[in-house]
Structure 1
């Protein structure tokens, strides 16, 4: 029996709130979110709403994987997903207020480098509860996406925002896809990662 459960798109309101908080906590000190929202207190306030948009987006495409106890979550979009960009921008503007312009900068740079050729899954975020990190939970969830992608004969794409994220994708068979995506004003870099089907 698989140790993970695909819970979308039947996520309850409480599940969405829990997973959004888990992601917010995990990414509170990530270089990307620190660049986007420099003030630590404000970052704590805004990130749950920011990640809620991503959880709901992925859930709409059956793209939320979580462990049964909710200690780990992985968000992704399947091949062919076409979100409503205007609606997403409005949701992010509501969640982030004046900090939405920083997100728009990130999104623009990501879009410039996002592969548009072969069909692929796009893994956006993964998080594990602090006291259960290094326990293989994310690898297990990512493995489910890879198994699905391999069965369909399609690739998987991700952007690592930290050395740890890059290491996790490399262990799963990803390779770098071109150079880094540097953010302006001495911001952090995103590392495009690609895995062909096997």
Structure 2
């Protein structure tokens, strides 16, 4: 399947390692160069701002989805192709899921985990059939990958549900995986 739009979940701060921002720049630029629309949380700060700016600088289409409270707090990116203001974080996740063909996860904190966990759950429940991929920058997602394997081994996640989530340190490889949803652990 061709990836018309990819939702990127990532930190609203830049993190401590410059490699995180470099990975966000690479993701934004690469999606734009491939003609893939970037859908993201709509912020101008942290890795969110970096990925959006890189896509815009490369001529890409960037769609932001931001809850009204964050818009009012002046963290919204005002230079996007489109910016949707929604009423809640749940509405944000729903609209991002509706707009995207797949989900790509960069380093981030609790909000990033919340966003991707909900998408993984929705795929597991059959609400959608969209894969999630973690770009493992410097081993950042290695503990979560191990946790996914532990959940699989302990019988809390079935193999097909585990396969909806993939991990890769190489962006090109990860995007290829997202373009053809995996089934079974990868």
Smaller-chain TM-score bracket: 0.3 to 0.5
Taking structure 2 as the reference length, the TM-score comes to 0.35
Taking structure 1 as the reference length, the TM-score comes to 0.34
